[in-house]
Structure 1
Amino acid sequence: MITKQDAVSILDDYLNRGRYGPYTGAEERVIDDELTLERDYGWLFTYNRAEYFRARDPHQSLVGNGPILVRRDDGAVIRFFSSYGGEEALAAYEGDPEKFPPADARS
């Protein structure tokens, strides 16, 4: 079992390695704590560029940055398409977790 702090570290490491979509690790990212959702099985995080949060300017927003689930039991990272909102992503995951395999942290 991991803690929320562990999950944040796992997510940060995952993003810093440029594993998810258009993000290359060159920009500061911020997790939106207000949109973080916790369930018994993990945490769903929403993140964006720090500049987006400073200016609230949609032109400063990342593109294609869907929510990311970090599972509590094993720290696995589950990516969702950007078309999913937080609750929608969790409902889809809860409906059929097998449809959402963990991302390969090594690739």
Structure 2
Amino acid sequence: MLEERTIEREFGWVFFYSSKRYVETGDPAFAVGGNAPLIVDRVTGDIHVTGSAYPVEHYIALYEARPRAPKE
């Protein structure tokens, strides 16, 4: 987990991750391909995989626009 990159929003969090070796060395040989950020819903605990084709803000906007069940 790349804690310093975590985004917190009203709906929950967006978490970023990579391999430990890539974070330590910066060597692209150790990069994780297709490691799309994960959205975790604070109410339900559901985990949603985003994507890597667009900036993370695109996926956040799509998630925020989704119809949501009312909080109990």
Q: TM-score range by the shorter chain?
A: 0.7 to 0.9
- Percent identity, aligned pairs only, is 34
| 8 A contact 2:11–2:64 mirrored in 1 | no
The TM-score, its normalising length taken from structure 2, stands at 0.80
1:39 aligns with 2:9: yes
| SS state at 2:39 partner | strand
In 1, the alpha carbon distance for the partners of 2:9 and 2:26 equals: 28
In our comparison, the structure showing a higher alpha carbon Rg is 2
Summarize the Cα distance change of 1:81–1:44 in structure 2 as closer, same or farther, 3 Å threshold. same
**Distance in structure 1 (CA, Å) of the matches to 2:12 and 2:20:** 24
| Structure 1 or 2: more helix by fraction | 1
Give the RMSD, CA atoms, in angstroms. Answer: 1.5
| Structure 1 match to 2:40 | 70
Equivalent in the alignment of 1:91: 61
Q: After superposition, what is the alpha-carbon deviation per residue over 1:13-51, rounded to whole angstroms, capped at 9, x for unaligned?
A: xxxxxxxxxxxxxxxxxx111211001111000000000
Q: Cα offset for 1:85?
A: 3.0
Paired residues of 1:37 and 1:86 also in contact (CA < 8 A): no
User: Conserved in 2, the CA contact under 8 Å of 1:66 and 1:84?
Assistant: no
5+ long unaligned stretches in structure 2: 68-72
Alignment partner of 2:50 out of 80, 90, 93: 80
State how far apart, in whole Å, the 2-side matches of 1:85 and 1:43 are. 16
C-alpha displacement of 1:94: 1.7
**TM-score, with normalisation over the residues of structure 1?**
0.57
